[in-house]
Structure 1
Amino acid sequence: MLDGRPFEIFGQGSRVNDTHLDQGSDIDLVLMLTAPAPGYGWEEFRDDVLTVLGKSYTVRMGRRCLNVDDPGSLFGEMVDVLVATEHRWYPVPGADYYEQGVFFRDQDGRAIVNFPRQHRRNGDAKDRCTEGRFKAAVRSAKRARRLGGADLMIDGWLAPSYLIECLLFNVPDRVYRSAASPSAAYRDALAWLRRTHRDDPATFAALPCQNGINRLFGPGPDQWDPGAAARIIGVLHQL
């Protein structure tokens, strides 16, 4: 059913970004149609992928991804597959250069555009510039999130790892590098975020995602409220 359809498969998420805590965490993959055609877009591609995978594996539709709930399948582990179509964002309208992103819809049918490859590239560069302290801070925040439980919930969902990682990405490199230790760098990063929200709320509300293209806060289905994010930072700071 997918024969002749041009697509790419690549990794995203904590395993690929090296911010995961457990070796048994899910593998996150993107299955991206690279040439949507009239009459064959995201909905048709998603339905075809669901049909093809469903012939061999136990598959269910999650909030955004197809969950392959079969430990014996594919890579021998649980796999989440984000079905998407290619999205091209042109920083300069009319120019030839573009950033390649992904388009998909969530369970409620809301359109989302994201840039996972840029997210990974920028995170790797940040980690090099901070001598490994950025990703160490992300892992520390995730461990603290496990302890925070209900105090870190947003609309009934545990504070997303993506939100936490993007927040810590926006902390200046000098804050990480000047700390006495990796654990001190994590605390200093949270303190910087708390001060920025308190003293310069406009700057805090304008923080970008780690991909450098999307805005972290706003009304979109993949955005959050600055006040809720500040509350999460406060809880993490206390843990």
Structure 2
Amino acid sequence: MPSSDYEKDKQDRALRMVKSAIDAWPAFNGVAYHIYAKGSYANNTNVRLDSDVDIAVQNRECLYYEYNGCEQPSSEGTPTYDGDWTPPLWRAEILAALDAKFPGEVSGSGVVAITIDEHDGTRPDIDVVPSFDYVRYDSSDQTRQHRGSKVFPKTGSPIVNYPQQQLDRGTAKNGRTNGRYKRFARALKSAENQLVADGTISDLPSYFMECLIWNVQDEILTGGSDLSAGFKSVLVWLWNGLKEENYVRTDWEEPNGLKYLFHPGAKWTPGDARELVLATWQYLDY
């Protein structure tokens, strides 16, 4: 089930509190930035008791870009950024701003996110992700472009996300399937939570379950005489697409439609998906 109204109020309050912390920090005076909720909270695919809030604090002073499958035009005349905002400095100032607002409750030890501890009765756990504006050009003349965010972990390679595309496409698919897309994404997440708690499988990123359901055809999601039968059909469809151990699905996408699900460097594998689907089937006694 989705978050209750009480949890939703806590999540909204968390976003307001983070925004107030960033807005009040002197180092950010006059700096262009964007603060927004992302992930399962923003997309309404979170489940009760598993509803931490992901909030991006995105620097708009510096634009990162890449040319995808096309030739990059000459850089002559292209403006370059000569400001002070490097990824380490951006992260350090965000951490300082949050420390000032939430003393003793903030941890910067994470590789990607800065974490603010849950405060009972007022807010859930908050993951604050420092990021930068990013654009992917799919044509040399820049007429085909996709705007997103670029995140620089403390270790490892940068991560590119497309939160707005994920939100828009997910909303459209949910409408086409009479709400079953997000309902079944939450169902798979709930099953994964229980399977992890039971020690049956290892913990998987919440986003992975949303990705799997995203790839299920609309007519499968809307089939079945009731929700239980429909979810059973979803698991069968996923299993049939994943059961060949030596075959990697190269056509499945993330919900943003701009990244393949099983790309190099992904935090999951087809084997993880097979294990999850089979364990969910057995857990539900289908």
**TM-score normalised by structure 2 residue count:** 0.74
Equivalent of 2:119, from 65, 71, 81? 71
CA RMSD between the two structures: 2.3
Given that 2:248 and 2:262 are in contact with CA atoms closer than 8 Å, whether structure 1 keeps it comes out as no
Does structure 1 residue 14 correspond to structure 2 residue 17? no
Give the partner amino acid of 2:101. Answer: S
Within 1, Cα distance between the matches of 2:96 and 2:269? 37
Equivalent of 2:58, from 32, 47, 51? 32
Within 2, Cα distance between the matches of 1:138 and 1:208? 15
- Counterpart position of 2:28: 2
Identity of matched residues, %: 26
For structure 2, the 5+ residue unaligned runs are 1-26, 63-80
Given that 1:10 and 1:29 are in contact with CA atoms closer than 8 Å, whether structure 2 keeps it comes out as yes
**How is 1:6-155 mapped onto 2 (pairs within 5 angstroms)?**
6-22=32-48, 25-36=51-62, 37-38=81-82, 39-57=84-102, 58-61=105-108, 62-69=110-117, 71=119, 76-149=123-196, 150-153=199-202
Given that 2:242 and 2:273 are in contact with CA atoms closer than 8 Å, whether structure 1 keeps it comes out as no
Given that 1:64 and 1:105 are in contact with CA atoms closer than 8 Å, whether structure 2 keeps it comes out as yes
Does structure 1 residue 197 correspond to structure 2 residue 231? no
Given that 1:31 and 1:84 are in contact with CA atoms closer than 8 Å, whether structure 2 keeps it comes out as yes
Give the CA deviation at 1:191: 0.8
Within 1, Cα distance between the matches of 2:86 and 2:230? 45
Give the CA deviation at 1:97: 4.1
Within 2, Cα distance between the matches of 1:41 and 1:96? 28
Given that 1:218 and 1:224 are in contact with CA atoms closer than 8 Å, whether structure 2 keeps it comes out as no
For structure 1, the 5+ residue unaligned runs are none
Structure showing greater Rg: 2
Equivalent of 1:232, from 269, 273, 276? 276
Classify 1:21/1:127 alpha carbon distance in 2 versus 1 (closer, same or farther; 3 Å).
same
Within 2, Cα distance between the matches of 1:210 and 1:140? 17
Classify 1:70/1:224 alpha carbon distance in 2 versus 1 (closer, same or farther; 3 Å).
closer
Given that 1:119 and 1:211 are in contact with CA atoms closer than 8 Å, whether structure 2 keeps it comes out as yes
Equivalent of 1:177, from 207, 216, 222? 222
- Runs of 4+ aligned residues of structure 1 deviating over 4 Å after TM superposition are 199-203
How many residue pairs match? The answer is: 233
SS of residue matched to 1:231: helix
Within 2, Cα distance between the matches of 1:53 and 1:94? 40
Classify 1:126/1:170 alpha carbon distance in 2 versus 1 (closer, same or farther; 3 Å).
same
Give the CA deviation at 1:98: 2.1
Give the partner amino acid of 1:54. Answer: D
- Counterpart position of 2:16: none
